Chain A
C-alpha cells in the first residue's frame, strides 16, 4: 500500500511538473515572438504554429489534471434534490458514463493518430503532425482511466487511495 501510495504521488508530481513546463514554454515563446516581431522585424515562421499547438497541449493536459481534482465543469442541477443515499449511486452512474464516453473517444483518436503516423505531413519546422496530435489520445486515455478509477473507488469506498 505504501509503495503504491508513493508511486501515485510521484506520478502526480510529474504530471503537475509537465503542466508547469508547458505553460512556461507557452508564455516564454509568446513573449519572445512578440519581441522578435516588433523590435527585430522578424519573428520565427514556425513559432505561430508552435504556439497554437502548445495551447492545444496545455488545454488537453490541463483537462486531464482537472479530473484529478474534480474540477471539471458540470451542470449539477438535479443532485441537490436527491436524497443522500441516492447521491452515491448518482456519482457512480455519472463517472461510469463519463469513463465510457472518454474511452470511446480515446480509442478512435488513437486509431486516428496511428493513421496520421503512417501517412501524415509536417506541422512546423521538422515536427510531424502526428506528434502534435498525440496529446489528444494521451489525455483522453488518462481521463478515461481517472473516471474509471473514480467509479471503482466510490463503489468500494476506498477514497484514501487517491489521496
Chain B
C-alpha cells in the first residue's frame, strides 16, 4: 500500500504536480510508516522560524528582481566594455564578467540572458564576432556566476546543509568565500579559450577612451559600491548575511526608485509580488522537503544508501567522479532549485562519509548544475535563449558544446583540487 502510494507520488512528480505537494505527500507517507501524528508536518513548517538566515532569501530575491527591472544591465555592460573593450576579443571577456556579476545578484533564474544577452548579442554581431560562437557564449554565460555571492542557490545550499547539521559545521560566509576562486577559474578558462578561438578573426578594436570610462563609472556610481560593500560587510564579519541582504534591498529600493527613477513606485507592488511568490514557492518546498528528509533520516535511509554505495565505491576520488556524472545528468533533467532540495539531503551524509567537506560538496554541486543549465532536454538557458533570440534549440545546443567542454574541464579541476574551495578554512 505504502509502496503504491510512493510510486504514485513519483509518477505525479514527473507529470507535473507542484513539488511542494509531492514533498508534503512524501512526508505524510513517512509519518504513516513511522506511526507519527500528521500534525508533525505543521511543526516542521513552523521550523522556518528557527532559521534566522532565511531572511536573506526574500531580501536578495527582491534586490535581484529590482535590478533586472532597472537599466542596471546597460550600465554594467557599458562599464565593463569601457574597461576591457580595447583588447582584441575583449567583448567576449566583457560578456563573461558582466554576466557573472549580474547572475550573482539575480540568482540565475534566466534573467541574465534576457537582460544582458539582449545587449551583448547585437553588440558582438556588429563587431563581426562569428554568430555561432556568440550565441554559444551568451547561452553559456546565462548561468555563469552561480558560485559568486550572494547567489540564491548558494544561500539555499547553505541553509539546507546547515539544517541537516551533518559533517563539519560551517558559516555562510565560508561558503561565500569558497565560491570565489572556482568562479574566477571558470571565467578565466572561458575567456582564455574564447580569445584563443578568436585569434584569427578580423575583429575591430576600439581605442581605449578615458573619457568613456569616466562617464561609465559616473553613470554607475550608485550601484558600483554595492558588490564591494556586500563583500566587505560579509567577509569583514561586520554584519550577518541576512542583515546585509536587508541593507542591500533597502539601498537598491532607494537608488532605483528615487535616484535613477527607472522603477516607478507604481510598478513596485508588481516587483514585490513577483519576487515574493517565487520566494514563497521556494520556501514552502524547502520546509516540506526538510519534513520529508527527517522521516528519511529517522528511517536511516542515508546510512543504508551509504552502505550500498560502499559495496561498489571504495575511495573518495571514484565517488567524486561518479558524483560529477550523476550531477550532470541530474542537472540536465531537473532545474537547480528542485535538484537542491531533493538531492542535497540524500547526498550530503554520503559525501561526508567519504570525507568530502560539506563546503566543497556545495561548490561541486552548483558547478555541475551550472552546466545543466544548457544541457538538453530541460536546460533552462537553452529555452530562454531560443525564445529570446528566435533560434532553434538544436543550433544553440551545438554552439554551446565547445564552451561546455571547457567548463567541464573547470568542473573537474574544482572537484579534484579541493584547495580552490577550501583554502580559507
Contacts and interface: CB of A to CB of B under 8 A. Distances in A.
25 contacts: A20-B269, A23-B58, A27-B62, A27-B249, A30-B242, A31-B250, A34-B243, A34-B247, A52-B51, A53-B49, A55-B49, A62-B280, A62-B283, A69-B277, A74-B18, A77-B378, A79-B16, A80-B377, A94-B17, A97-B17, A108-B38, A108-B41, A109-B41, A132-B46, A147-B18
- Name the prevailing secondary structure of the A interface residues: helix
B146 interface: no
Interface stretch (B214-222, B301-309, B330-338): B330-338
Contact of A136 (B42, B249, B337, B377): B42
Interface centre among B24, B28, B41, B58 (most CB of A within 10 A): B58
Contact of B284 (A16, A53, A60, A74): A60
B58 A63 contact: no
A60 B280 contact: yes
A77 B278 CA distance: 20
B55 A76 contact: no
B282 A75 contact: no
Contacts, number: 198
Interface centre among B13, B16, B39, B337 (most CB of A within 10 A): B16
A98 B17 contact: yes
A75 B16 contact: yes
B401 interface: no
B312 interface: no
B58 A90 contact: no
Interface in B20-53: 20-21, 24-25, 28, 37-39, 41-43, 45-46, 48-52
Interface string A117-158: 000000000000000110011000000000100000000000
A78 interface: yes
Interface in B235-249: 239, 242-243, 246-247, 249
Nearest to B56: A55
Interface string A83-109: 000000011011101100110110011
Given A66-B277, A77-B14, A94-B15, A104 B378 contact: no
Contacts of B249: 27
Nearest to B246: A30
B71 interface: no
B314 to A, nearest CB: 33
Given A97-B12, A108-B39, A16 B269 contact: yes
B243 A30 contact: yes
Interface centre among B41, B59, B284, B333 (most CB of A within 10 A): B284
Nearest to A109: B42
- Name the prevailing secondary structure of the B interface residues: helix
Contact of B333 (A67, A77, A79, A95): A77
Contacts of A91: 16
A128 to B, nearest CB: 13
A87 B380 CA distance: 21
A73 B18 contact: yes
Contacts of B49: 49, 52-53, 55-56, 132
B337 A73 contact: yes
Contact of B46 (A66, A71, A72, A136): A136
B22 to A, nearest CB: 8
Contacts of A105: 24, 28, 38, 41-42
Interface in A31-49: 31, 34, 38, 48-49
A65 B43 CA distance: 22
A90 B59 CA distance: 36
Given A65-B277, A72-B281, A111-B39, A56 B16 contact: no
Contact of B17 (A74, A109, A136): A74
